[in-house]
Chains A and B, each alone.
Chain A
């Protein structure tokens, strides 16, 4: 088993090399590096000018919200990266392929339902989905899991029931619409998805335990690498979300609540920009009293699947080419699912 794995890796290695991708990829980090250097330089200049600007009310609010999103997500990110590290190091390579149905089209809904077992918010599911692909799960099923896990787990559904007391239809609608979106996105990937959009190392599937290496050491290294990687992108996403959170006053929102169609699109967009954790978004949705139930459902279905910090995390984990296509398609599918199911149930 181990031998063949190695062989495949070597062959693919040879096949990829002539394309000259190393030189391409060696260039790619530079824009990010330059941006970071610029940001560090700007911060240094501002700091030299005094720390006064850091204590402006707007900047303070921005720092508080940014730190709050990061701190709130860190435990769940750790859980997710620890799980993904454990899957890589300890789970036998063929376990998932044995459990899931052989036909990819069937594996998608099964993986979607399996999302219910990961109690946490969306940050945990990205690294886990990543390691599932690494263990040979078909990407379509892994993506269905990625989308459904943060939306349909018991913690989130309970929170939804608490936020909408006496309205079990809302919980049911959220469950059904999220599952439908996750499955639809999985099938959409089977139909239209291209593996070349994914990061190169994801295509090879030769990760996991290697003969002769300590499993614990592999676990620790995978955990550490994934956490640092995803954590950096988490901070990036938190910064973007905090910027929106502070720059746009909430009172502006009420102006959009009049039209039923616009309000659905508006709340879906708001869910992307606000990046509220999936365990809390039901409470935010409940507070948007001026909006129709369908619009609030769209907020709760889109939020756990697409938001600024998730896009940043996915771009880091799966690659930018994947992240923007996937996020756009998911938003469209999620809005459609919320409108259909909201119209039927609410």
Chain B
């Protein structure tokens, strides 16, 4: 890989990272929010590295001309001076020590994520992934449940709703109107669909899915973000493992995809 291409690659990757983490929220589709400072710092470092490479290259061009005079350049006294000045593809053929002037061809692959971040960012994981993964097991609540607030409809996360349905012996959620948010994942059988959130702890490669079965309306198109109000769909004994985490829907209202799409929190709307 030639020097101008390296400079371009470093700069492009840096701008791509800054674009996704500093100027927009696209990084939240791929990694957890906590990585933001690291991504911004990396973007700045890469940008500086690219600019430094460009600056040094401009400087060196003047000094190299002196060496060109000596035959084909192979007789230069210091092999490293020669390597750094001369442009060459066979950097690995020089077995002499650390040679940093050429980068291997495999570095071209880095253009893919850089261009992808800048020009063609893929969307957050959705119904395709959710339909093919099993439901994340819900942790057992050891401390007992607090009383539910009196607001109606009551906003709950999918995990909290599942816990209330399957673990709360006081059955506080019975006949309460709750509001859940998530996107639509069609069920394998035609009876009903799933309200889904995909959660990850570090990046989209370790994603896990929480699902609530929804009854009562036709399935909207997959990946539609909805705020759904409804009551528990009675199946199984409420407050025990046999209860199904399911909802009888009263109203389904389309919403914009929340900023924090990859957590199971109450939705933050885009600013």
Contact = CB atoms under 8 A, between A and B. Distances in A.
Interface of A: 9, 13, 16, 21-22, 25-26, 28-29, 32-33, 36, 54, 57-58, 60-61, 63-72, 74-75, 78, 82, 88, 134, 200-201, 204, 206-208, 210, 213, 217-218, 220-225, 227-229, 231-233, 235-236, 241-242, 245-246, 249-251, 253-254, 274-277, 279-281, 283-284, 287, 289, 316
A71 B31 contact: yes
Given A36-B106, A228-B10, A253-B134, 7 more contacts: A57-B126, A60-B122, A61-B128, A61-B129, A72-B35, A78-B46, A229-B104
A20 B108 CA distance: 28
A71 B122 CA distance: 13
A286 B27 CA distance: 25
Interface string B227-251: 0000000000000000000000000
B132 A236 contact: no
A229 B13 CA distance: 14
Contacts of A228: 1, 6, 9-10, 103-104, 107, 110
Interface string B188-230: 0000000000001111111010000000000000000000000
B204 A65 contact: yes
Given A9-B96, A64-B124, A275 B117 contact: no
15 contacts: A25-B93, A26-B92, A58-B128, A60-B128, A71-B17, A75-B39, A75-B41, A201-B99, A221-B84, A222-B100, A224-B6, A227-B10, A227-B49, A280-B200, A283-B202
A250 B207 CA distance: 10
B56 A217 contact: yes
Nearest to B21: A71
A72 B203 contact: yes
B257 interface: no
Contact of A72 (B31, B93, B100): B31
Given A222-B98, A284-B206, A64 B93 contact: no
Contacts of A207: 97-98
Given A249-B132, A277-B203, A64 B104 contact: no
B89 to A, nearest CB: 8
B contact patch SS: helix
Contacts of A63: 116, 122
B95, B121, B202, B205: which has the most chain A beta carbons within 10 Å?
B205
A86 B117 CA distance: 29
Nearest to A212: B78
Interface string B8-36: 01100100010010000001011100010
Contact of B205 (A69, A210, A289): A69
Contacts of A36: 105-106, 108-109
Interface in B55-112: 56, 80, 84, 90, 92-93, 95-101, 103-110, 112
Contacts of B29: 64, 68
Contacts of A200: 95
Nearest to B92: A25
B137 interface: yes
A277 B203 CA distance: 8
B110 A221 contact: no
Contacts of A134: 98
A contact patch SS: helix
A229 B127 CA distance: 36
A203 B17 CA distance: 36
Contacts of B200: 280
B98 A235 contact: no
B122 A67 contact: yes
B54 to A, nearest CB: 11
Contact of B206 (A222, A224, A276): A276
B133 interface: yes
A32 B106 contact: yes
B45 interface: yes
A323 B97 CA distance: 21
Contact of B133 (A74, A231, A250, A281): A250
Contacts of B13: 74, 231
Contacts of B104: 29, 228-229, 232, 316
A71 B206 contact: no
A71 B105 contact: no
B224 to A, nearest CB: 14
Given A68-B30, A287-B208, A280 B107 contact: no
Contact of B109 (A221, A235, A254, A289): A235
A201 B113 contact: no
Contacts of B110: 228, 231-232, 235
B42 A78 contact: yes
B171 to A, nearest CB: 25
Contacts of A29: 92, 104-105
Contact of B30 (A9, A57, A67, A223): A67
Contacts of A221: 84, 100-101
A21 B132 CA distance: 50
Nearest to B207: A65
A6 to B, nearest CB: 10
Contacts of B105: 29, 32-33, 36, 232
